[in-house]
Amino acid sequence: MRIAIVTGGAQGIGKGVVLHLLGKGWKVAAFDRDDEALADLAAESGSQPLLTQAVDVADEDGMAHAFAQVARWTDNAGLDLLVSNAGIADPVSGPIEELSLQEWRRWQDSHVTGAFLAVRGAVAPLRAREGSIVLMASTRALQSEPDTEAYAAAKGALCAMTHALAISLGPDIRVNAILPGWIETADWQKASARSEPEHRPIDRTQHPVGRIGVPADIAGAVEFLASDAAGFITGQQFVIDGGMTRRMIYAH
Ligand code: NAD
């Protein structure tokens, strides 16, 4: 049985990845700081092999404890996949001249420090099974709306970490980044926060594929990148955005 850790696995894209992998027969540990969302996930996953760990990915001691729990749960069997996905999903940090250092650090901690601690904890068990890593970046590493510097910087850092890690950890461990575009997650939240997605027609039609993304669009790519079919792919960035970053947007 293949074994994965997914951070931020209790809601949104991470939850989509967790349920997809469970459905494909994987054993999955979901790390998330939201207890209520983790409890919902555990209930939804039924009797499938899921371990939930309540942890903030930027908390060094908490992450060490969570990795120890996974090692115990798997009898030190190692790891096939780490999906480092947790982070503040809101890209808007506000005008740069009003952004406090403390706020700036919230984005860097959850995305960049969280990825560092997740990768550091996963390297030894991944080596044992020649596993792979997927870092969840964003198309906002490549292009921007105003007032999104903290998020853009964090996602750019993850893209740089991807190639650095691929060189450091190869040939044992492959490392790739996924850069999602607009992925609708309103209906992938914990029950108390769930809502029906509402979109304007233009939200859909502006995408070259004619729709907004869903967590399954990312989960399928994660599964592929973790598979032997992707054995020659490392250090790469995969934009999954329905073609939005390929659209020329000069005003007419
Ligand atoms: P989401 O808010 O729906 O889910 C994120 C989950 O991560 C939540 O369960 C939350 O509790 C958890 N989390 C957040 N910070 C954490 C921390 N410090 N420690 C532990 N858990 C933490 O978000 P999402 O939209 O599914 O986004 C998931 C990832 O994908 C994020 O890295 C986000 O930046 C990225 N992303 C999302 C989109 C999108 O359109 N949804 C687009 C590009 C990139």
Q: Convert the pLDDT of each residue in 185-201 to its tens digit.
A: 999 999 999 999 999 99
End-to-end C-alpha distance for the chain, whole angstroms: 54
Q: Is the CB of 225 under 6 A from ligand 1?
A: no
State the catalytic residue, choosing from 26, 31, 67, 151.
151
Q: Is the CB of 135 under 6 A from ligand 1?
A: no
Looking at residue 157, what is its pLDDT?
99
Burial (CB count within 10 angstroms: exposed 0-12, middle 13-18, buried 19+), residue 132: buried
Looking at residue 61, what is its pLDDT?
98
Q: Is the CB of 148 under 6 A from ligand 1?
A: no
Q: How far is the centre of ligand 1, averaged over its atoms, from the C-alpha of 10 (Å)? A: 9
Can you give the residue ranges of every domain in the chain?
3-246
Average pLDDT, the chain: 98
Give the position, in ligand 1's atom list, of the atom nearest the Cα of 37. 9
Burial (CB count within 10 angstroms: exposed 0-12, middle 13-18, buried 19+), residue 246: exposed
Nearest alpha carbon, ligand 1 atom 29? 85
Going from the C-alpha of 108 to that of each of 207, 215, 233, the distances in angstroms are 29, 23, 27
Q: Is the CB of 10 under 6 A from ligand 1?
A: yes
- The model scores a pTM over 0.95: yes
CATH of segment(s) 3-246: 3.40.50.720
Looking at residue 146, what is its pLDDT?
98
Going from the C-alpha of 197 to that of each of 36, 188, 202, 211, the distances in angstroms are 21, 10, 14, 13
Looking at residue 21, what is its pLDDT?
98
Q: Is the CB of 134 under 6 A from ligand 1?
A: no
Which residue numbers in the chain have pLDDT < 50? none
Looking at residue 67, what is its pLDDT?
98
Active site residue 250: no
Looking at residue 12, what is its pLDDT?
98
Q: Could you please report the per-residue DSSP string of 155-202?
A: HHHHHHHHHHHHHHHTTT-EEEEEEE--B--GGGS-GGG-------HH
Give the position, in ligand 1's atom list, of the atom nearest the Cα of 180. 43
Looking at residue 192, what is its pLDDT?
98
**What stretches of the chain show up as alpha helix (H) in DSSP?**
12-23, 35-45, 60-73, 101-108, 114-129, 149-169, 201-205, 215-226
Looking at residue 178, what is its pLDDT?
99
Q: How far is CA 88 from the centre of its chain?
A: 11
Q: What is the pLDDT of residues 30-86, one digit of tens each?
A: 999 999 999 999 999 999 999 999 999 999 999 999 999 999 999 999 999 999 999
